[in-house]
């Protein structure tokens, strides 16, 4: 009888451990970047320490770049996006209204990003800031392949 109880407990613990390994942790911080609703970059938690590049070109001239930034599962307040050049000088600034609930998406026209790129910079850097992240966070480098897009 004791052996059956012991085996049952061990099996329950093992099953619980296996099932728990498939559960994503609640909260955390992360972002997704879309071009015309196509996911082009996604990073969460520790992955965010590595900055990756996104390339824009003439085919994106009428597109929309959308950012979804997650603060512990909630949308931020007083959200802004900024483009900076390699010298960390602000090139473009966008401010967004507060969203209710879990409406994470903020969007800007790609043509505004492309037109912000001067010939001196090969890469612009996209930053996100909000009340929850007032110091801001670099999300990605943006390379514009064709200025005439």
The reply to whether 1 falls in a domain is: no
Instruction: Let me know: does 113 contact 65? Beta carbons within 8 Å.
Output: yes
Rounded-to-integer distance, Cα 143 and Cα 123, Å: 5
Residues with Cβ within 8 Å of residue 19, at least 6 apart in sequence: none
pLDDT at 146 over 80: no
The reply to whether 17 falls in a domain is: no
CA 25 to chain centre: 17
Residues 102-134 pLDDT 10s: 677 889 999 888 888 766 567 899 999 999 888
Residue that wins the pLDDT comparison between 71 and 79: 79
Q: How many domains does the structure of the chain reveal?
A: 1
Q: What residues are paired with 39 via a beta bridge?
A: 34
Please report, for the domain that includes residue 86, its CATH number. Answer: 2.60.40
Residue that wins the pLDDT comparison between 28 and 102: 28
Name the strands in the sheet holding 137-144, side by side, starting at the edge strand that comes first in the sequence: 52-56, 137-144, 123-129, 80-84, 90-95
Structural domain of 41: 26-144
């Amino acid at each position: 009888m004791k052996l059956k109880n012991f085996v049952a407990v061990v099996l329950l613990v093992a099953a619980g451990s296996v099932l728990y390994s498939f559960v994503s942790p609640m909260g955390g911080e992360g972002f997704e970047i879309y071009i015309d609703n196509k996911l082009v970059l996604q990073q969460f938690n520790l992955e965010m320490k590595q900055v990756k590049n996104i390339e824009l070109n003439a085919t994106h001239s009428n597109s929309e770049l959308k950012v979804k930034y997650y603060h512990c599962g909630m949308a931020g307040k007083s959200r802004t996006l900024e483009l900076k050049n390699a010298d960390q000088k602000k090139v473009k600034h966008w401010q967004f209204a507060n969203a209710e609930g879990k409406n994470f998406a903020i969007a800007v026209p790609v043509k505004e990003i492309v037109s912000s790129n001067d010939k001196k910079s090969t890469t612009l850097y996209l930053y996100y800031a909000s009340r929850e992240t007032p110091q801001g966070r670099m999300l990605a480098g943006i390379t514009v392949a064709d200025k005439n897009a």
